[in-house]
Amino acid sequence: MNLPELKIGDLTAKIPVIQGGMGIGISLNRLAGSVAAQGGIGILSTAQIGFQEEKFQRASVRTNLQTIKKQLDKARSFAKGGILGFNVMVASFRYDEVVKATVEAGADVIISGAGLPMNLPELVGNAKTKIAPIVSSVKAAKIILRNWAKKYNRTADFVVIEGPKAGGHLGFKATEIEHAMQTMDDEVVKIIAHIKEYEEKFDTKIPVVFAGGVWDRADIEHYLNLGCSGVQMATRFIGTEECDAPDDFKDRFLKATEDDIHLTTSPVGLPGRAIDNKFTETISAGVTAYKAQEAPKTPIIPIAKCLNCLQIKLCDRKTIPYCISEALLNSVEHNTDMGLIFSGTNGYKINEITTVKAIFEELTA
């Protein structure tokens, strides 16, 4: 079968592949622009997007907001007119401002997860920017779509379903993941069926895109056969020349085995999947003692400086186990031993550095 186009309203991606947003600094202008140029949808992560800028350490929030348009414009310069957008975490510090900045910058799409994006339609307003929530269950889909319909009289332009094989933060409790591994296909079918109700209500097509563990053409066809309109791939694009991560970060994937990729504890209360290193060993060793501490808790790894990455209600630097920004920044600033290196379950399959073009040629052959 030939891969179908992915149509999102008046946008059309020739290849039904969205490149997942990866922060900090993994999917920026070069990777996103390269994916868009090949006919997919390129996604930049807004997580500490300005970390390479001179003023970042002094004014991280302002620098991040100012860098959004700068990064998008760079991506457009070689995207060949392709579709570009942003991944914005609901848990982000000053989430509303970040979303508005991506809209003002001219984003084609916004994908939003790490929480329920309940007010996303309000933030986007009448802009042409298409919006998609990330959900991992039919329950989450029901909550979001019902709220959007009732409060804003609109629905999602597309929906991203993230399964338990994804890298980074997962939308499951640690105790739910093993069960989700076995039942995710059934959940996908249920979510698609529920979304059809809103397609009928709003007389529109709402494409469903599956993310998490998608690696090759067979995976794509599997989810298309379940009723999805496309897939989202993130980890696989780390093994490309165009990926914005430094070489020593990519080298961790080249050397990783399947046994090196495990779930780890995140400060935001969700499990996350990453490559084992000294950092994850330190966190794992300290978790039991951390949980046993009587209030107030103290960090497993002392936090040098708050860079305002998460909403205050989610993060108290005096009590969280470690600073996730600091850990993610370490991984892209040549301290991969003490960095958090997020990876999907298939990260160990990266055994060479290829190109975005070569991946798309393989997927569409």
Q: Per residue in 243-255, pLDDT tens? A: 999 999 999 999 9
Q: What is the mean pLDDT of residues 154-162?
A: 98
Does residue 288 have a pLDDT over 80? no
Sorting pLDDT into bands at 50, 70 and 90, what band is 227?
very high
Does residue 294 have a pLDDT over 80? no
The closest alpha carbon to 19, from 38, 42, 51, belongs to 42
Q: For residues 182 and 340, give the distance between their C-alpha atoms in angstroms, rounded to a whole number.
A: 27
Q: What is the mean pLDDT of residues 212-220?
A: 97
pLDDT given at position 290: 77
pLDDT given at position 202: 97
Bridge-partner residues for 7, per DSSP? 12
Residue 274's contacts (CB-CB under 8 Å, 6 or more residues apart) are 167, 261, 262, 264, 280, 340, 341, 342, 343
Sorting pLDDT into bands at 50, 70 and 90, what band is 39?
very high
pLDDT in tens, 52-90: 999 999 999 999 999 999 999 999 999 999 999 999 999
Q: What is the mean pLDDT of residues 161-170?
A: 93
Sorting pLDDT into bands at 50, 70 and 90, what band is 320?
confident
Q: For residues 14 and 37, give the distance between their C-alpha atoms in angstroms, rounded to a whole number.
A: 10
pLDDT given at position 293: 79
pLDDT in tens, 88-106: 999 888 999 999 999 999 9
pLDDT given at position 173: 84
Q: For residues 175 and 117, give the distance between their C-alpha atoms in angstroms, rounded to a whole number.
A: 24
Q: What is the mean pLDDT of residues 130-134?
A: 98
pLDDT given at position 134: 97
Q: For residues 254 and 11, give the distance between their C-alpha atoms in angstroms, rounded to a whole number.
A: 35
Is 233 in a helix, a strand, or coil? strand
323 or 149, which is more confident: 149
pLDDT given at position 182: 94
Q: What is the mean pLDDT of residues 117-126?
A: 97
Percent of the chain with pLDDT over 70: 98
Average pLDDT, the chain: 94
Q: For residues 32 and 102, give the distance between their C-alpha atoms in angstroms, rounded to a whole number.
A: 15
Q: How many C-alpha atoms does 120 have within 13 Å on its Cβ side?
A: 30
Two structure tokens written together for 273: 């999947």
268 or 221, which is more confident: 221
pLDDT in tens, 338-356: 999 999 999 999 999 999 9
Sorting pLDDT into bands at 50, 70 and 90, what band is 240?
very high
Helices (H), the chain: 29-37, 60-76, 95-105, 120-124, 138-152, 177-202, 217-226, 247-255, 278-292, 324-332, 356-364
Sorting pLDDT into bands at 50, 70 and 90, what band is 295?
low
Quickly tell me which residue has 């490149």 as its tokens. 19
Contact 111, 90 (CB under 8 A): no
Q: What is the mean pLDDT of residues 206-225?
A: 98
Helix (H) or strand (E) holding 130: strand 130-135
Backbone angles phi, psi at 240, to 5 degrees: -125, 155
